[in-house]
Structure 1
Amino acid sequence: MYEPIRRKSVHSTMADDTAAYPHRTREEELDLQLAGHLSALLSVTDELGLAQEGDRIASEIARLRSAPPVRHAGLSAADPADLHQRAHALAGRALVVAASRADTAAAILAAERMDAHAAAQLLTAAH
């Protein structure tokens, strides 16, 4: 009664072939996101000239990426108060991701950086 389909369906796509593109787990995605936030925080920390704190952040990034980060202080001549505000926000983002992936070491580091930059903001606002 009906003629059988002799061609491949036009409704099948490459998305049906799951081996055609790489997949990452949720944990891998969170690792990448956390490393990205920490890298941005490292840039601002280096610009502020906080070498010891920058080294701690760099070691966390190296742990997450299995490779040390590339560091260079691209000085933007931004106001230190603005840099502390930016660093505080970046540390907050890193804290949220670290908490969601249950990474205690990164969460503690991010919380410490948030506290330090909040205190620095208060000091620069008082002057």
Structure 2
Amino acid sequence: MYEPIRTKSVHSTMAGTTSDFPHRSREEELDIQLAGHLAALLAVTDELRGAAPSEELDTAAERLAAQVTRLRGGHPPVRAVAGQTGTTQLAGLHRRAHALAGRALVVAASRADTAAAILAAEQMDVHAAALEPRELASR
């Protein structure tokens, strides 16, 4: 049904041998992915801190920044400047933060990073709790 490949792969001929370019391990790829999810969650947390400052969000932001720094080999994340956000956008920010925390939890669990998984699960709970009164009131 299919014709066999008769020529060499373009990818192998362009790079010479397969050792000509660096490869990352699965763990390194998961670290990069987890750091990205946590950095995005940190950005949303900083936005929420600007809209509704709280000690809980400050603590969460510091813990997230510490995890991102650890995963990036000591390079601290770029922090968002806390700006003013309308109260109508708070629910959307909490939904986005909940989704990002869920993604981070999946990656942390797959790489067996207990500290990051616990932090992500706690953030999911915080943002789900923040959404409950609004979601119930809108029904």
Identity %: 63
The alignment covers a number of residue pairs equal to 118
Tell whether the 8 Å contact from 1:14 to 1:20 is kept in structure 2 after alignment.
no
Higher alpha-carbon Rg: 1
Q: Secondary structure of 1:13's match?
A: helix
**What residue number does 2:3 align with?**
none
TM-score for the superposition, normalised by structure 1: 0.84
Distance in 1, Cα, partners of 2:93 & 2:80: 16
Structure 1: which 4+ aligned runs deviate by more than 4 Å? none
Distance 1:31 1:76, change over 3 A: farther
Q: In the TM superposition, what whole-angstrom CA distance separates every residue of 1:29-86 from its partner, at most 9, and x where no partner exists?
A: 0000000000100000000002221110000001100211110236483600000000
Distance in 2, Cα, partners of 1:44 & 1:84: 8
TM-score for the superposition, normalised by structure 2: 0.78
Structure 1's unaligned 5+ residue stretches are 1-9
**What residue number does 1:111 align with?**
121
Distance in 1, Cα, partners of 2:61 & 2:106: 20
Alpha-carbon RMSD: 1.9
Structure 2's unaligned 5+ residue stretches are 1-6, 50-56
